[in-house]
Amino acid sequence: MVDRVSWVPEGVNVDVPSSARIYDYLLGGGHNFEADRATAEALIRVLPVRDMARRNRAYLRRVVLELAGLGIRQFLDLGSGIPTVGNVHEVAHEVAPDSKIVYVDFEPVAITHAELMLADEPDVTALLADLREPEKVVQQASSLLDLSQPVGLLVVGVLQFIPDSDDPWGVLRRYVDALAPGSYLALSHFTADSMPAAMAAGKEIFAKTAEPITPRTRAQVADMLAGTEVVEPGIVFTPEWRPETPEDVGTDPSKANLYAAVGIKP
């Protein structure tokens, strides 16, 4: 097990696997523990999770570049996870160095590490908050973001950790309602549509972590875009969303096991 260092707050139980730290491990990061790595390796045996994570991260990059190219200069990243290579602010600043970014996560390790990394970034901040409390998150984010202007709302690879009982559809709609016209909602979400048996096995493994998953169908993901007009190419698998090269798509994009879509608030 990794020794407790400055990015591990007191009170964090490193023996309980965390989705943020599992994702960090799958992307090659170093902010994870023995329990996270063991869970990730169990997932690797039943699902192509390394490729899923890589493709999801690549989708995030393409979305941020696209929105920045369209003039979006503010991003609210919900469930941002542990900062690793290709963070939203790094990508956005490639296009527009004046972009402002607010990261939100309820994983203390993620936020503590983000705060350390962002110490010299005045236009970027990280909030320890639960995305299921939209009004509270929006109020805190407004200390940096001008919510009278369009925002890029990023909800990438996180909604599967919110159970139906917490109404992720209603939660998202409250965020959309709080944003200015011209704002964008970009999301990706686990699905069992393409690999039902493998995803069922993965769901069993996640059930033993701090955040069990709820994979959802294409129709359920479509409902999450309520209040927006979905832009081309619609709801697709992550590598199919505006790929830069044919190699980005690969031979079977459905094995990405995450749907992706972007909508604009009219």
> Domains in the chain and their CATH numbers?
48-195+212-264 (3.40.50.150)
**Which residues are registered as beta bridge partners of 185?**
153, 263
**Rounded CA separation 262/228 (Å):** 9
Q: Is there a contact between 163 and 132 (Cβ–Cβ < 8 Å)?
A: no
Please state the pTM of the whole predicted model. 0.93
With residue 184 as reference, give the H or E element that holds it: strand 184-190
Packing angle between helix 49-69 and helix 34-44, nearest 10 degrees? 100
DSSP state of 151: -
Q: Give pLDDT, residue 126.
A: 94
> Shortest CA distance to 259 belongs to which of 190, 163, 168, 200?
190
Tell me the pLDDT tens digit for each residue of 12-50. Answer: 677 899 898 899 899 998 888 999 999 999 999 999 999
The answer to whether residue 85 scores a pLDDT higher than 80 is no
Q: Give pLDDT, residue 235.
A: 98
Of the pLDDT bands very low, low, confident and very high (cuts 50, 70, 90), residue 103 is: very high
Tell me what the pLDDT averaged over the chain comes to: 92
Q: Give the amino acid at 29.
A: G
Q: Is there a contact between 239 and 253 (Cβ–Cβ < 8 Å)?
A: yes
Phi-psi label, residue 234: left if phi above 0, alpha if psi -120 to 50, beta otherwise: left
Tell me the pLDDT tens digit for each residue of 240-252. Answer: 999 998 888 988 9
> Hey, what long-range contacts does 217-225 have (CB within 8 A, 24 or more apart)?
217/191, 217/192, 217/193, 218/191, 218/193, 218/259, 221/187, 221/189, 221/191, 221/259, 221/261, 222/261, 223/169, 224/159, 224/168, 224/169, 224/172, 224/187, 224/189, 225/185, 225/187, 225/261, 225/263
The answer to whether residue 141 scores a pLDDT higher than 70 is yes
Tell me the pLDDT tens digit for each residue of 177-232. Answer: 999 999 999 999 999 999 999 999 999 999 999 899 999 999 999 999 999 999 99
**Rounded CA separation 235/126 (Å):** 29
Q: Taking the CB of residue 170, how many other CB atoms lie within 10 A of it?
A: 12
* Residue written as token pair 């990023």: 154
The answer to whether residue 9 scores a pLDDT higher than 80 is no
Pairing of strands 229-230, 124-128: unpaired
Share of residues in the chain with pLDDT > 70 (%): 95
Q: Give pLDDT, residue 4.
A: 44
DSSP state of 255: G
Tell me the pLDDT tens digit for each residue of 155-174. Answer: 999 999 999 999 999 999 99
Q: Give pLDDT, residue 29.
A: 86
Q: Give pLDDT, residue 2.
A: 42
Tell me the pLDDT tens digit for each residue of 60-79. Answer: 999 999 999 999 999 999 99
Of the pLDDT bands very low, low, confident and very high (cuts 50, 70, 90), residue 124 is: very high
- Phi, psi at residue 9, to the nearest 5°? -65, 150
Q: Give the amino acid at 83.
A: P
